[in-house]
């Protein structure tokens, strides 16, 4: 009945909790004492560093990742080729030129086009967000630079100004876009991130500026005197580059064709060290699997760790993985993506973004939730056992949209968006003890999901 037995069979009792207590405790103890995971993260951050798709350092990171997985004794280690977008920032700068001159601290948005070599100088129209822009007429926007000065109201609700702002403004005739950095913390730190151009609308350059500078422009604008900004960006796309998803496995002892997949993304933005985003995710995942291996725990099903590539500006790694799985999708028994940083973990979110097997927006399966809560109990001793609806991520999106049960670790998320996509996403932001707890959570969750008699649905 293996592989057919549903989670519900375990919901009424705490079978799983009892059955896996000993293995879980060993994994947690090992994770809490682990030094290898953080050592790997240190190497990735300090020696390889930032690793945007198409960069040499990403190539280096791919080779290094293959080596690490082999050194940890994983099987079927491979770099699965993926063509990735190759966006290059180039030289860039911005300044206020009227009614006074002030430099602006900026970072062009990922995938933005550049300006002409001589730059763009234009008057700024300040809006509080895409909603307010929608109330403006073409006459009010045409030929202008639109500043989206949106107050941070959580990442999801605010980031739409960054992703969609350029095309919304261009549709009204704007020549460029500035976006207030998507963060709650004002410390003169610009936050980059990708935009998405809408088909059929002119592509205009777009850059993030700091909260401070966005507020300055807003204040100057309120005096009735036009504020003019000069923007220069050499950003451009080069032909797609060769890269790879890196995978490694502990083959299952009974059902090796069935796979619990876990991981994060190997690429990062071209600023900082990609420490929390997502060095912490890939290396907590790898270390979780390495510890399972080291403790001699060979699960019933295969556990596969995946370092997806090109998450930040293209999502090609997640798509390529889905294609590589091909018609064996039903063998993907669960997918866990860690891409929210390694702050203190609280538990896991569980859900199916896009709905299960075509049912969009379906609530998580109740029996599966009950099963996960039994597993969660094993993580209560480190405060990481809470199971809540809603989970997933962009790399496992192509799987979960087709019905693969998706999970993601949930943390306190106290500071993640202070550093996200900035020069400040560096190793020091990853606390060793929190990182270890994340390893523990991933190890216990992936091991039990891979070993338990039944499957989530």
3-state secondary structure of 240: strand
Which has the closest alpha carbon to 151: 194, 193, 182, 192?
182
Helix (H) or strand (E) holding 233: strand 228-233
Nearer to a copy of itself, 214 or 399 (CB): 214
Does 80 sit near a copy of itself (CB under 8 A)?
Answer: no
Q: Which residues contact 7 (CB under 8 A, 6 or more apart)?
A: 365, 367, 368, 370, 371, 454, 455, 456, 457
Instruction: Find the binder of a copy of itself among 18, 25, 29, 46 (CB under 8 A).
Output: 46
Does 47 sit near a copy of itself (CB under 8 A)?
Answer: yes
Stretch that binds a copy of itself, among 6-14, 40-48, 198-206, 355-363 (CB under 8 A): 40-48
Burial 181-218 (b: 16+ CB within 10 A, else e): bbbeeeeebbbbbbbebeeeeeebbbbbbbbbbbebbb
Nearer to a copy of itself, 107 or 172 (CB): 107
What's the full length of the chain, in residues?
457
CA distances from 399 to 71, 195, 198, 299, 423 (A): 29, 23, 25, 22, 32
Instruction: Find the binder of a copy of itself among 236, 428, 432, 433 (CB under 8 A).
Output: 428
3-state secondary structure of 6: strand
Using CB under 8 A, count the residues that bind a copy of itself. 28
Nearer to a copy of itself, 215 or 413 (CB): 215
How many angstroms separate the CA atoms of 313 and 86, rounded?
9
Nearer to a copy of itself, 136 or 186 (CB): 186
Nearer to a copy of itself, 35 or 323 (CB): 35
Does 98 sit near a copy of itself (CB under 8 A)?
Answer: no
Considering only residues 263-302, where is the footprint of a copy of itself by CB under 8 A?
Answer: 272
CB of 426 to a copy of itself, least distance (A): 5
Stretch that binds a copy of itself, among 119-127, 215-223, 333-341, 443-451 (CB under 8 A): 215-223
Does 57 sit near a copy of itself (CB under 8 A)?
Answer: no
Segments of 40-170 assigned E as strands: 75-88, 92-98, 102-104, 106-108, 120-127, 145-148
Considering only residues 170-189, where is the footprint of a copy of itself by CB under 8 A?
Answer: 185-189
Q: Which residues contact 82 (CB under 8 A, 6 or more apart)?
A: 243, 244, 245, 309, 310, 316, 317, 320
Stretch that binds a copy of itself, among 16-24, 123-131, 334-342, 417-425 (CB under 8 A): 417-425
Does 97 sit near a copy of itself (CB under 8 A)?
Answer: no
CB of 423 to a copy of itself, least distance (A): 4
Does 100 sit near a copy of itself (CB under 8 A)?
Answer: yes
Nearer to a copy of itself, 274 or 391 (CB): 274
Instruction: Find the binder of a copy of itself among 211, 266, 309, 399 (CB under 8 A).
Output: 211
Instruction: Find the binder of a copy of itself among 138, 219, 236, 381 (CB under 8 A).
Output: 219
Nearer to a copy of itself, 192 or 245 (CB): 192
Does 423 sit near a copy of itself (CB under 8 A)?
Answer: yes
Catalytic residues: 311
How many angstroms separate the CA atoms of 204 and 166, rounded?
6
How many angstroms separate the CA atoms of 170 and 195, rounded?
13
Q: Which residues contact 393 (CB under 8 A, 6 or more apart)?
A: 337, 338, 339, 406, 408
CB of 104 to a copy of itself, least distance (A): 11
How many angstroms separate the CA atoms of 200 and 430, rounded?
42
How big is the CA angle at 10 (ends 7 and 15), to the nearest 5 degrees?
135
CB of 39 to a copy of itself, least distance (A): 11
Helix and strand counts by DSSP (H, E) for the chain: 13, 16
Does 102 sit near a copy of itself (CB under 8 A)?
Answer: yes
Stretch that binds a copy of itself, among 124-132, 139-147, 339-347, 423-431 (CB under 8 A): 423-431
- Confirm if 356 and 329 have CB atoms less than 8 A apart: no
Nearer to a copy of itself, 300 or 420 (CB): 420
Alpha helices in 33-137 (DSSP H): 36-43, 56-71, 130-134
Does 49 sit near a copy of itself (CB under 8 A)?
Answer: yes
Q: Which residues contact 4 (CB under 8 A, 6 or more apart)?
A: none
Stretch that binds a copy of itself, among 8-16, 64-72, 142-150, 213-221 (CB under 8 A): 213-221
- Confirm if 425 and 277 have CB atoms less than 8 A apart: yes
Helix (H) or strand (E) holding 220: helix 211-221
Does 417 sit near a copy of itself (CB under 8 A)?
Answer: no
Does 347 sit near a copy of itself (CB under 8 A)?
Answer: no
Which has the closest alpha carbon to 442: 397, 364, 375?
375
Q: Which positions lie near a copy of itself, rule CB under 8 A?
A: 42, 46-47, 49, 100, 102, 105, 185-189, 211-212, 215-216, 219-220, 272, 418-419, 422-424, 426-429
């Amino acid at each position: 009945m293996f592989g057919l037995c549903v989670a519900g069979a375990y919901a009424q009792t705490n079978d799983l909790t009892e059955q896996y207590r000993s293995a879980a405790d060993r994994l947690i103890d090992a994770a809490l004492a682990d030094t290898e995971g953080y050592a790997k993260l240190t190497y990735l951050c300090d020696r390889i560093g930032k690793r945007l798709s198409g960069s040499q350092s990403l190539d280096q990171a791919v080779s290094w990742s293959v080596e690490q997985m082999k050194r940890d004794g994983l099987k079927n280690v491979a770099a699965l080729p993926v063509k990735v977008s190759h966006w290059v920032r180039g030289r860039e700068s911005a300044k206020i030129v009227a009614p006074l001159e002030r430099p602006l601290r900026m970072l062009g948005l990922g995938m933005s086009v550049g300006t002409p070599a001589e730059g763009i100088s234009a008057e700024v129209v300040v809006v509080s967000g895409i909603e307010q822009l929608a109330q403006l007429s073409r006459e009010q926007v045409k030929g202008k630079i639109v500043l989206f000065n949106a107050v941070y109201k959580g990442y999801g609700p605010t980031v739409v100004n960054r992703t969609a702002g350029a095309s919304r403004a261009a549709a009204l005739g704007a020549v460029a876009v500035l976006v207030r950095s998507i963060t709650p913390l004002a410390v003169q730190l610009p936050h980059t991130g990708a935009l998405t151009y809408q088909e059929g609308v002119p592509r205009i350059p777009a850059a993030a500026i700091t909260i401070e500078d966005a507020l300055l422009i807003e204040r100057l604008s309120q005096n009735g005197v036009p504020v003019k900004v000069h923007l220069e960006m050499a950003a451009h796309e080069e032909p797609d580059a060769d890269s790879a998803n890196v995978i490694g496995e502990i083959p299952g002892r009974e059902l090796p064709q069935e796979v619990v997949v876990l991981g994060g993304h190997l690429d990062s933005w071209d600023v900082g060290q990609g420490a929390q985003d997502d060095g912490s995710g890939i290396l907590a995942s790898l270390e979780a699997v390495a510890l399972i291996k080291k403790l001699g725990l060979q699960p019933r099903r295969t556990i596969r760790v995946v370092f997806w590539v090109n998450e930040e500006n293209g999502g090609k790694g997640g798509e390529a993985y889905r294609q590589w799985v091909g018609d064996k999708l039903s063998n993907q028994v669960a997918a866990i993506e860690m891409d929210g940083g390694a702050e203190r973990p609280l538990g896991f979110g569980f859900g199916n973004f896009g709905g299960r097997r075509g049912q969009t927006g379906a609530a998580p399966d109740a029996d599966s939730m009950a099963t996960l809560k039994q597993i969660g109990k094993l993580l209560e001793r480190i405060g990481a056992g809470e199971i809540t609806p809603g989970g997933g991520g962009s790399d496992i999106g192509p799987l979960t949209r087709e019905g693969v049960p998706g999970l993601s670790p949930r943390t306190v998320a106290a500071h993640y968006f202070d550093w996200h996509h900035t020069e400040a996403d560096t190793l020091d932001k990853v606390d060793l003890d929190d990182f270890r707890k994340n390893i523990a959570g991933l190890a216990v969750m992936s091991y039990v999901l891979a070993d338990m008699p039944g499957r989530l649905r």
